[in-house]
């Protein structure tokens, strides 16, 4: 079965410290991987995607993610967290022969001033 | 500002009412989606329209009725809803339903409360 997992419901990090939000996936075939962010009372905003090529993907607002095929992971990272990064983050996966996106359960990130 | 516009932003309705949610995009996307989202949970896919035709219905109760009048508009007609239908309803669009390597663009949603 196709699935994506976000093992942490909540991540807390101090402002200025690096942050990591974890995502692992299970799909047959090559995955397309996405990260979205959701601020309170807003829809999901696209941050970045991995389709093929370079394993390190750079996205909006200084975020980046590393695709690791052997560990089937696609962790979201940022070198220096801002208080304004506090939000709900969703990893999503699709694949060539599928017909929809599969969302992870979400990780609530809190950046502490 | 999002490129997918949803109206209304908030809606309170009784269980016997009929109302509609509207979604509009002008990005030339040919796939449009309705999702239901409960607080702090991932969006749950309800319907997918591809080139104005319904291509996926994820076993949604018939009290939810989607409509795609043209390539830019998507409606969700509501009738005889239940309290458990209270949620954030998100509309999204993408280049095409088959282009799963392209991101979906989401509106800010309609927060629906059923009394």
Give residue-wise pLDDT tens across range A4-45.
Answer: 999 999 999 999 999 999 999 988 778 899 999 999 989 999
Confidence of residue B31 (pLDDT cuts 50, 70, 90): very high
CB contact under 8 A, A108 and B105: no
CB contact under 8 A, B42 and A49: no
Q: Higher pLDDT residue, B82 or B98?
A: B82
Tokens of A27: 């799909």
Q: Is the pLDDT of residue A96 over 90?
A: no
* Distance between first and last Cα of chain A: 41
d(CA A47, CA A32): 14
Measured between alpha carbons, how far is residue B69 from residues B24, B36, B76, B84 in Å? 11, 21, 11, 28
For B43, the closest chain A residue by CA position comes to: A103
Q: Is the pLDDT of residue B25 over 80?
A: yes
Tell whether B67 is within 8 A of chain A (Cβ): no
Rounded to 5 degrees, φ, ψ at B36 are -115, 135
d(CA A52, CA A78): 21
| Length, in residues, of chain A | 113
Pairs across A and B, CB distance < 8 A: 61
Neighboring chain B residues of A105 at a CB cutoff of 8 Å: 41-42
Tell whether B54 is within 8 A of chain A (Cβ): no
Q: Is the pLDDT of residue B1 over 60?
A: no
Looking at residue B78, what DSSP letter applies?
Answer: E
Confidence of residue B58 (pLDDT cuts 50, 70, 90): confident
- Give the pLDDT score at A97: 67
d(CA B73, CA B18): 19
Q: Is the pLDDT of residue A98 over 70?
A: no
Average pLDDT over residues B62-87: 95
- Give the pLDDT score at B16: 87
Q: Is the pLDDT of residue A95 over 90?
A: no
Q: Higher pLDDT residue, B25 or B95?
A: B25
Tokens of A99: 């017909």
CB B87 within 8 A of CB B34: no
- Give the pLDDT score at A94: 86
What's the helix, strand, coil split of chain B in %, to 5? 5, 55, 40
Tell whether B56 is within 8 A of chain A (Cβ): yes
Q: Is the pLDDT of residue B85 over 90?
A: yes
Measured between CB atoms, which of A32, A42, A51 is closest to B108? A42
Tell whether A106 is within 8 A of chain B (Cβ): yes
Measured between alpha carbons, how far is residue B38 from residues A31, A43, A106, B72, B85 in Å? 26, 12, 12, 26, 9
Tell whether B74 is within 8 A of chain A (Cβ): no
- Give the pLDDT score at A28: 77
Tokens of B10: 């908030």
Tell which residue, B71, B89, B90, has the closest CA to residue B31: B71
Q: Higher pLDDT residue, A7 or B99?
A: A7
CB contact under 8 A, A100 and B109: no
Tell whether B48 is within 8 A of chain A (Cβ): yes
Q: Is the pLDDT of residue B10 over 90?
A: yes
What's the helix, strand, coil split of chain A in %, to 5? 5, 55, 40
Q: Is the pLDDT of residue B2 over 70?
A: no
């Amino acid at each position: 079965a196709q699935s994506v997992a976000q093992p942490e419901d909540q991540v807390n990090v101090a402002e200025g410290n690096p942050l990591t939000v974890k995502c692992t996936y299970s799909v047959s075939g090559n995955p397309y991987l996405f990260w979205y962010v959701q601020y309170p009372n807003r829809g999901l905003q696209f941050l970045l995607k991995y389709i093929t090529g370079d394993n390190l993907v750079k996205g909006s607002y200084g975020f980046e993610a590393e695709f690791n095929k052997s560990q089937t992971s696609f962790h979201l990272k940022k070198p220096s967290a801002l208080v304004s990064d506090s939000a709900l983050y969703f990893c999503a996966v699709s694949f060539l022969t599928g017909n929809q996106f599969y969302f992870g359960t979400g990780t609530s990130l809190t950046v502490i001033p | 500002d999002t490129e997918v516009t949803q109206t209304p932003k908030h809606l309170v309705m009784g269980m016997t009412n009929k109302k509609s949610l509207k979604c509009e995009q002008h990005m030339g996307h040919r796939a449009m989606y309705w999702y239901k989202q409960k607080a702090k949970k991932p969006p749950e896919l309800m319907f997918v329209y591809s080139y104005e035709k319904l291509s996926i219905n994820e076993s949604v109760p018939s009290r939810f009725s989607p409509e795609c009048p043209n390539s830019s508009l998507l409606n969700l007609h509501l009738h005889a809803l239940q309290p458990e239908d209270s949620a954030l309803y998100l509309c999204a669009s993408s280049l095409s339903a088959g282009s799963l390597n392209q991101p979906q663009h989401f509106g800010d949603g309609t927060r629906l409360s059923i009394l």
